[in-house]
Amino acid sequence: MRNLLSSVPVVDFHRVHLKYENGPNVLKNIQFSLERGSFHFVTGDSGAGKTSLLSLMYLDQRPTAGRIHLFGRNLSEIKRKQLPNLRRRIGVVFQDFRLISSLNTFDNVALPLRIEGMKENEIKKRVTELLAWVGLEKCIHTFPDSLSGGEKQRIAIARAVINAPDLLLADEPTGNVDDAMANRILHLFLELNKMGTTLVIATHNHALIRQFKKPQLHLSNGVLECLPSPFKAPLEKSSTAPEFVGEYHDFEI
C-alpha cells in the first residue's frame, strides 16, 4: 500500500509572485506541484526567471505574494533557525557554483557529509568514488581558484548529490562541460532519481531535453507553462498556469 506521506508534494507553489526591488515582476502567478521522485526540466530564455524560480525553492528568496510548501511545510511559517534543517534535504547546483575557495575539491564535496556527522573513513570512500565518476580524481587536492569552469561545475554537482538529497535543484549544471560529460552527469542524476530524489534541472541544453524526455516547467514573460514532453505545442497561455502533479499520469493535452 502506498505510504500516505509520499502523497504530499515535495514542492507546491500556490499563486506565487516574485518582484525584485525596483525591478519588474519576474514570476507571475506561478502554480504547480511536484510529486516525490518526479523529474522536471526548467526551461525558458535567458532572463526568463529560471534561477529565480529555483531560488524560491531553496529559500534564498521569499515570494512577493503567494504560498510555497516544501515537503509539506508552509515556508512562510518556518522560523529562521529551522532553515538549515530544511536546506539539508536539498542539494543545489548553483549557476555560479558557489564553492568555498578556502577548501580543496575533496573538502568542498565532503562538506554536506561532515555536517551530517559521517565517519571520516566513510566520507573518504564516498567522496573519492564520486569524484572519480565525474572525472576529477586528479584534482582532489586542488583549490577552486586553480580549476576551470567545467571542473568547478563538476565539484558543485558532486557536492550537491553526495548525500542523496530528497530534492535536487540544478541550475544549468551542464553549461560548462562537453557533451559526453553532460550525458554522464544526467545519468548520475537519473540514478539519484531512481532512488527517490526529486529533480528540478534548469537548462538551455535542448539535446538533453530531447534525449531524456522529461516534462518541462517552461517560463516565458514570467508565466509558467507546463509542457509534458519535449516538442509538443505549449499549452494555451493564461495568467493562471494549469496545476499539474508529477509525471502527468492523468494529464491530457
Ligand X SMILES: Nc1ncnc2c1ncn2[C@@H]1O[C@H](COP(=O)(O)OP(=O)(O)OP(=O)(O)O)[C@@H](O)[C@H]1O
Chain positions contacting ligand X, by CB under 6 A: 20, 23, 26, 44, 46-52, 95
All three cell numbers of 220, joined, read 516565458
The smaller minimum CB distance to Mg ion, of residues 169 and 186, is found at: 169
Q: Which does 91 bind (CB under 5 to 8 A by kind): Mg ion, ligand X, none?
A: none
Encoded amino acid at 106, one letter: F
Smallest gap from Cβ 108 to ligand X, in A, equals: 22
Q: Which does 29 bind (CB under 5 to 8 A by kind): ligand X, Mg ion, none?
A: none
Smallest gap from Cβ 44 to ligand X, in A, equals: 6
The smaller minimum CB distance to ligand X, of residues 56 and 185, is found at: 56
One character per residue 61-100, x = contact with Mg ion (rule: CB under 5 A): ----------------------------------x-----
Beta bridge partners of residue 12, listed in sequence order: 33, 69
Residue 198 makes contact with Mg ion by CB under 5 A:
no
38, 51, 108, 205: residue in contact with Mg ion (rule CB under 5 A):
51
Strands (E) across 51-197 are located at: 65-70, 73-74, 90-93, 167-171
- For the chain, the distance separating the N- and C-terminal CA atoms, rounded to the nearest angstrom, is 30
- With beta carbons less than 8 A apart as the criterion, state whether 200 and 214 touch: no
The smaller minimum CB distance to Mg ion, of residues 16 and 139, is found at: 16
Smallest gap from Cβ 90 to ligand X, in A, equals: 18
146, HSE (Cβ side, Cα atoms, 13 Å): 10
Closest CA to 97 of 161, 152, 59: 152
The smaller minimum CB distance to Mg ion, of residues 24 and 117, is found at: 24
Smallest gap from Cβ 51 to ligand X, in A, equals: 3
The smaller minimum CB distance to ligand X, of residues 27 and 34, is found at: 27
Residue 233 Ramachandran class (φ > 0 left, ψ -120 to 50 alpha, else beta):
beta
Per CB under 5 A, residues contacting Mg ion are 50-51, 95
